[in-house]
């Protein structure tokens, strides 16, 4: 797919697109946004020569960016097939959410235990930003998913375990593609982290138990949205959930 400037702009995570630290990071952000927005479709080949020409970069930073995206599960690299955008499946979505349900409430409680007043202020700011976006007329799914991710990140920012934080970061990177697609197909409010007075009060009270319950309920809603993604052959989302519960 030809990547135009139109479908490679507006990356909500990119604070350095205009002045990137390295060419590899610049390419990383461009490819990431194209994958999340659907400009690069699941299982689409990523041809180094073609992308190098389109981005006006040498193959070296492009390969570095592809390796980074592969580590996050957004790209698949195999000797026989080269690089491709990772495929999507309802089962993968369910497995990602199952892991997040285990890891994120624990990280949230740890984050609250170490958070300062300034950290709680950042959480409240992210909550307000998502709340403001939700009430706007037809917010873009990618923009909504980014604001939702920013709130997740703020809530977990002070977790002390680096390994736990790294695992959650990888899972969230993979979740973004599914979340954007689900938001494009379903009602907005039901698929973003609850950002109303319940969470506001949990932040005001510094109450990790209440905030963790809100987070867990949100992840449950995402789990139930697997049917919006499409189903793997021979298994329905309900059957997949039963299999995951038995495996666990």
Residues 25-71 pLDDT 10s: 888 888 988 888 888 989 999 998 899 888 888 899 999 999 999 98
pLDDT (tens digit, 9 = 90+) per residue, 128-180? 999 999 888 678 888 999 999 999 999 999 999 999 999 999 899 889 889 98
Mean pLDDT over each residue of the chain, to the nearest integer = 83
pLDDT of residue 165: 95
Task: Report CA dihedral (24, 28, 30, 35) to the nearest 10 degrees.
Answer: 150
Angle at 138 between CA 135 and CA 139, to 5 degrees: 75
Rounded Cα–Cα distance for residues 23 and 56 (Å)? 10
Helix (H, G, I), strand (E, B) or coil at 11: coil
Least confident residue range of 16-20, 124-128, 134-138 = 16-20
Strands 75-78 and 82-85: antiparallel
pLDDT of residue 230: 62
Q: Is the pLDDT of residue 214 over 90?
A: yes
What percentage of the chain has pLDDT greater than the value 70?
83
pLDDT of residue 123: 97
pLDDT of residue 20: 54
pLDDT-derived band at 188, boundaries 50, 70, 90 = low
Catalogue the E-assigned strands of the chain: 75-78, 82-85
């Amino acid at each position: 797919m030809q990547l135009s400037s139109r479908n490679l702009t507006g990356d909500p995570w990119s604070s350095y697109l205009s002045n990137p630290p390295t060419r590899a990071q610049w390419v990383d952000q461009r490819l990431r946004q194209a994958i999340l927005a659907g400009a690069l479709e699941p299982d689409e080949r990523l041809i180094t020569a073609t992308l190098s020409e389109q981005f006006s970069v040498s193959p070296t930073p492009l390969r570095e960016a592809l390796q980074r995206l592969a580590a996050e599960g957004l790209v698949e690299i195999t000797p026989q097939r080269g690089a491709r955008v990772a495929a999507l499946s309802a089962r993968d979505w369910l497995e990602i959410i199952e892991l997040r349900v285990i890891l994120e409430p624990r990280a949230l409680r740890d984050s609250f235990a170490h958070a300062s007043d300034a950290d709680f202020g950042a959480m409240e700011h992210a909550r307000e930003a998502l709340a403001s976006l939700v009430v706007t007329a037809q917010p873009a799914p990618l923009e909504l998913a980014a604001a939702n991710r920013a709130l997740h990140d703020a809530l977990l920012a002070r977790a002390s375990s680096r390994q736990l934080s790294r695992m959650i970061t990888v899972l969230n990177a993979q979740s973004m593609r599914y979340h954007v697609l689900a938001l494009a197909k379903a009602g907005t409010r039901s698929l973003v982290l609850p950002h109303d007075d319940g969470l506001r009060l949990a932040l005001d009270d510094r109450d990790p138990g209440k905030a963790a319950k809100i987070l867990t309920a949100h992840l449950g809603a995402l789990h139930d949205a697997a049917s919006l993604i499409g189903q793997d052959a021979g298994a329905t989302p309900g059957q997949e959930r039963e299999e995951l519960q038995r495996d666990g």
